[in-house]
Amino acid sequence: MGALVTAEANSLVNASLGTATYTAPTTPIKLRLMTANGSASAAGTEVTGGSYASQTITFASASGGSAAGPPSGNLDFTGMPAVTVVGVEIWDSNGTPRRLWWGALTTSRTLTAGDVLRFPASSITAALT
């Protein structure tokens, strides 16, 4: 994963310094696909069309400085529209979803209508660097 969203990073820093209480994300955590990457302060442009829907992603706990992950099992996005996917974002499932992480794919993926985009287990990790 490219980076922690600025608002999320600020919440974690404030909580770790005792100046605020941290509110944990609402599960399940969702992986969204982007046609234009966002930044630390602005969301990207999410894929639309076809049968695309964000997918639930599950991580193992980070420990000893290691990245959180790997996600359990393959993550398949089926019935994709004709689209080029350039990045991903991780969001929670609150009534007003909260963006947590964002990042560019190492290689963009150009799909035709009906394709399946698969992320193999362990291909998506998140870490503070």
What is the 3-class SS of 8-53, one letter each residue?
Answer: HHHHHHHHHCCCCCCCCCCCCCEEEEEEECCCCCCCCEECCCCCCC
Q: Give pLDDT tens digits for 21-69.
A: 999 999 999 999 999 999 999 999 999 999 999 999 888 777 665 566 5
Separation of CA 38 from chain center: 11
Quick check: 113 and 83 in contact, CB under 8 A? no
| Domain layout of the chain by residue ranges | 3-17+26-119
* pLDDT tens figures, 12-27: 999 999 999 999 999 9
What six digits make up the tokens of 76? 């398949």
Q: pTM (2 decimals)?
A: 0.90
